[in-house]
Amino acid sequence: METKPQWNMMSAACPTRQVLDRIADKWTMLVIVALQDGTLRFSELRRGIEGISQKMLTQTLRALERDGMVERDVIPTVPVTVRYTLTPLGHSLADAVSVIRTWAYENMTTIEKARATYTVPSGAPPTPMAVSSGAA
């Protein structure tokens, strides 16, 4: 007899959708990649991830800590030093992110060619990528 899986991401009420939202976020992926080789201070993370604001980095780290993927270590110095490290769960996510990163690197040329030759269907609104990148 086949057992029904406990989770069904196709269901709007399934909590895995929250997890998917978190791990599919670009800032989450970049923080995970930055921390995969070891512990970093907040300032090191901010310098290492171009374009991330202090607010967004703080929000991302808090969410990852809440979900058990990042451990926060506060060292009582003046000023206070805060270090972040991936937990075993975070390292397992880093492995998955590494696969996605490798796929993106290997396929970026093909994607760029597809974007260059893409024609917007007549009457269709522009895609978010076309608007944000300035492409036509």
**Per residue in 48-91, pLDDT tens?**
999 999 999 999 999 999 999 999 999 999 989 999 999 999 99
pTM across the whole model:
0.80
Quick check: is 1 in a domain? no
Number of domains in the chain: 1
38 inside domain:
yes
Tens digit of each residue's pLDDT (9 = 90 or more) over 15-25? 999 889 998 99
Q: Does some domain include residue 7?
A: no
List, in sequence order, the alpha helices (H) in 1-136.
Answer: 16-24, 26-35, 42-48, 54-66, 88-117, 128-133
Is 123 inside a domain boundary? no
For residue 67, what are the domain limits? 16-118
Assess if residue 127 is contained within a domain: no
Residue 83 lies in a domain: yes
Q: Indicate whether 136 belongs to any domain.
A: no
Q: Can you give the CATH number for the domain in which 85 is found?
A: 1.10.10.10
User: Has residue 134 been placed in a domain?
Assistant: no
- Of 61, 72, 69, whose CA–CA distance to 27 is shortest? 61
